[in-house]
Structure 1
């Protein structure tokens, strides 16, 4: 394991203090912290950075855990993840730093781990190679020996990423991974603590947690536990949101069946707008009286999808495309059942529309105050009587149609 350094011991040697400060809130206390110029080679990325969570999971799935023994090798791997996670934002930040220098200081621990500023650090690394001169990362150095716990550090990280008035440019799936780890897997924070740290309402955090759990359940359904990059590659944020809406309106005894049916429909759907696909199933099938019949008829599709992937030793995007995408009969059966049930619901809705309209008309008529009618003036009574005659004529016509 690589020997750790102590940046605080290098101040006034290789590290110099600037005139700048950055205001941070740590352990409930907000104050200004001094900013230092730090040589890039003394720093290393935070591999727990939520922005690259899915990239880390992909690397670990393909090649195993990232080796921390070689600082530069480790940094180069994470460097590529940072660039790939949002190339446009990276290029914009890099050009800005090239023109004006690093304007916003980062935050690092005394051992060199970057808590805030991973993208700025990446830009400086690239500029050093391209321009051929030394660049320094300007940052606050936190003394972790002064009672700052790992939870305090994570709380600060969340506050810097979510609580400040700047956009959060995480891929939404990466953000869900971060939420899952902090609230469910590691139980680092309660809902209220997380809400305070990210400047969100409790209800918002609860919804994020529930969506994160749903994402994990989907990965378990496809035999890909922990492979978060699959959820990212499938662009599941929108579909997961729609599934949550559908489940909220579903009877508790049907919830598990509905969830699995929607998971299977995601995998057997033709490429296209999966969010709209799930929304349509919810509106036209699950949240109608035809839900039970659909779940019974769709059960074989769900079982085949589930069993096909559970039998695989390794499941990734290529496995899904190969094992599910190549099953033309399965995909056709899934499509046929869904389209048939949607059509049935639309026919039922068309048949019931006259009844719905008549019920609304009845409620409108029933709400008329008869006392108010009797007190109307002569002109109003004439108008009222004329309308009644038109309504009666329409009722007579409808009665004839019913009796045909």
Structure 2
């Protein structure tokens, strides 16, 4: 891609507007001038967290994005931006067509868009449809004044997450962004990421842990780095349930539980995977039947794992062909799960009389005996009548034990 310097084109092909935008860079907040930039000078940010899973799919299926051909590159990423949230895109496009671009973007002096990829996409489409010139209004950052890639990423996070406006990231794209910035590259600590995105440390810790779990699932299915698979499987909800279940188990058992839940995700015959994982946790993993289940389910886990690890390429199509097509495997998986769920429910029903009696005793135990002696005659008669009913019921229950 031909190197350009937008700052050198000011007053020649780029016009200064009367507007400014307040940005915080290196901890310092200032007003920056806004310019009108011809669309042909700009290109998308391929590290944009909103389209992380779409980029991963393209890399998996077609190889590296060729950034030497700016227009072809922009056309490819353009489609990712639209597809990532078509409703939000259409709303933004209608708004820009009616009122113009109200919120300025942020670009680097080489033309890379840091903030405003969707607005840029809308302007590109309007230009194509109407055949007239449109300009992207944005701050131009001088990267030769000590602004580092880390500073740029901090700014991007702050603009995308920290400002008081809706964040419409797909949850999986957001997890990819968190994983890259905190775990993979170590660009930020949890505390720094929380500060840049206006979140609590605990919230970011949970996002980091869920992101790690997502990566472990992809490794389990032999699809490392193929984040789009997690998006296509809608794994945000199920992964949240897996996290909750794992926290209630000892470290010694967590790996076995995690692999069992991963295998059940792939072999489930239930439509709502989030509810399914929650059910397995409540009715099996968090009960006395957990060990028996893990022992019995071990063959299912191994077959799921081995089947996908044997494949050179794993994608959604491979999963459907290799796992979904194994009717006997799916049948065995679901039969084991249903059997253990039913066993737990039978145990619960069997123990229910004990639970009810325990609660009844606790209620009786709260009665103040001295208050009984101070009751009036009418209350004493009512109390005596109820007490006789209780004694009669207790006698009947005792007789049932001998039946």
TM-score range, shorter chain: over 0.9
Partners of 1:367 and 1:61 lie apart in 2 by: 66
Q: Kindly report the root-mean-square deviation, in angstroms, between the aligned alpha carbons of the 2 structures.
A: 1.1
Gaps of 5+ in 1: none
Q: Which aligned runs of 4 or more in structure 1 are off by greater than 4 angstroms?
A: none
What is the Cα deviation at residue 280 of structure 1?
Answer: 0.8
Kindly provide the CA deviation profile for residues 199-237 of structure 1, in whole angstroms up to 9, marking residues without a partner as x: 111111011001000000000000000000000000101
1:324 aligns to what SS in structure 2? Answer: helix
Gaps of 5+ in 2: none
Number of corresponding residues = 403
- Equivalent residue for 2:84? 85
- Equivalent residue for 2:179? 180
Partners of 1:136 and 1:5 lie apart in 2 by: 17
What is the Cα deviation at residue 374 of structure 1?
Answer: 3.1
What is the Cα deviation at residue 370 of structure 1?
Answer: 2.5
- Equivalent residue for 1:380? 379
Partners of 2:155 and 2:385 lie apart in 1 by: 73
Kindly provide the CA deviation profile for residues 44-103 of structure 1, in whole angstroms up to 9, marking residues without a partner as x: 100000110000000000111101111111111111110111111111111111111111
What is the Cα deviation at residue 368 of structure 1?
Answer: 2.5
Q: Does 1:244 align with 2:215?
A: no
Verify the 8 A CA contact 2:270 2:276 in the aligned structure 1. no
- Equivalent residue for 1:232? 231
1:189 aligns to what SS in structure 2? Answer: coil
Verify the 8 A CA contact 2:49 2:174 in the aligned structure 1. yes
Partners of 2:381 and 2:152 lie apart in 1 by: 78
- Equivalent residue for 1:331? 330
Kindly provide the CA deviation profile for residues 4-37 of structure 1, in whole angstroms up to 9, marking residues without a partner as x: 1111111111001001111111111112111100
Verify the 8 A CA contact 2:51 2:81 in the aligned structure 1. yes
Partners of 1:12 and 1:271 lie apart in 2 by: 62
Partners of 2:161 and 2:50 lie apart in 1 by: 12
Kindly provide the CA deviation profile for residues 101-126 of structure 1, in whole angstroms up to 9, marking residues without a partner as x: 11110011111110100000001111
What are the within-5 Å matches in structure 2 for residues 278-289 of structure 1?
Answer: 278-289=277-288
Partners of 1:271 and 1:321 lie apart in 2 by: 15
Verify the 8 A CA contact 2:39 2:135 in the aligned structure 1. yes
- Equivalent residue for 1:161? 160
Partners of 1:332 and 1:305 lie apart in 2 by: 13
TM-score (structure 2 length as normaliser): 0.98
Partners of 2:369 and 2:7 lie apart in 1 by: 86
Partners of 1:88 and 1:324 lie apart in 2 by: 33
- Equivalent residue for 1:116? 115
What are the within-5 Å matches in structure 2 for residues 196-207 of structure 1?
Answer: 196-207=195-206
TM-score (structure 1 length as normaliser): 0.98
- Equivalent residue for 1:270? 269
- Equivalent residue for 2:290? 291
What is the Cα deviation at residue 271 of structure 1?
Answer: 5.4
Verify the 8 A CA contact 2:18 2:34 in the aligned structure 1. yes
Partners of 2:279 and 2:10 lie apart in 1 by: 61
- Equivalent residue for 1:253? 252
- Equivalent residue for 1:14? 13
